[in-house]
Amino acid sequence: MRKSFACIFILLLIALFINSCKEKIKPTIINAKIEGVYPTQESWNSRITFTREGKVLAILEVKHLLIYDDRKETLLEDGIKVDFYDEEQKHTTTLTANKGQVNDITKDLAAYGNVVVVNSEDGTTLKTERLFWKNNTQKIETDAYVEIDSPKEKIRGNGLISDQNLKNYKIINVTGQTTKID
């Protein structure tokens, strides 16, 4: 019995040795990369700081962040908040929205859905459905319907150009305006 077991074991080793000496067949690899469909990076509960010459311009907080290197853009999903700062690093305004997008080349921000901007100093509030912040000018603008409530007035209209602090704003097409009396 021991001899037969030893013979079987030796035959198995020889078969294994012969099989391992054969040329291996490599499987065909198909390059299945689909450009732009999947993000290069993805994260949750992220914080991004925008700076210029060492000074903080804005701090962005987002629940779901998707970076697409090939498209040079970052998508902001599931709620965003941006705190803006002036040249003296003083907090000036806060922007919140449902979602947004950052152009990774220009660092411009687009915000969409229930966009609200509040001035930290006097409480002036802007509401709209979409808003664009230009990094190089630090201005905000939109062609959508806007509502501005400030300590002095309420304005409704379509289109807006403003500094990011909501101190100097212009409604392109005013549809309603009231002045508040103290």
pLDDT digits (tens, 9 = 90+) for 105-139: 998 999 999 999 999 999 999 999 999 989 889 89
Domain containing 90 equals 43-179
Confidence at 38, pLDDT banded by 50, 70, 90: confident
Q: Compute the mean pLDDT over every residue in the chain, rounded to the nearest whole number.
A: 85
Confidence at 32, pLDDT banded by 50, 70, 90: very low
In the numeric block, which tokens belong to residue 46? 């992220």
Rounded Cα gap, residues 42 and 6, in angstroms: 58
β-pair partners for 176: 156
In a domain, 31, yes or no: no
Q: In total, how many domains does the chain have? A: 1
- This prediction has a pTM of 0.76
Largest CA distance in the chain: 110
Identify which of 156, 155, 98, 106 has the alpha carbon closest to the alpha carbon of residue 131. Answer: 98
In a domain, 66, yes or no: yes
In a domain, 36, yes or no: no
Q: Identify the CATH number of the domain in which residue 71 sits.
A: 2.60.450.10
In a domain, 21, yes or no: no
In a domain, 144, yes or no: yes
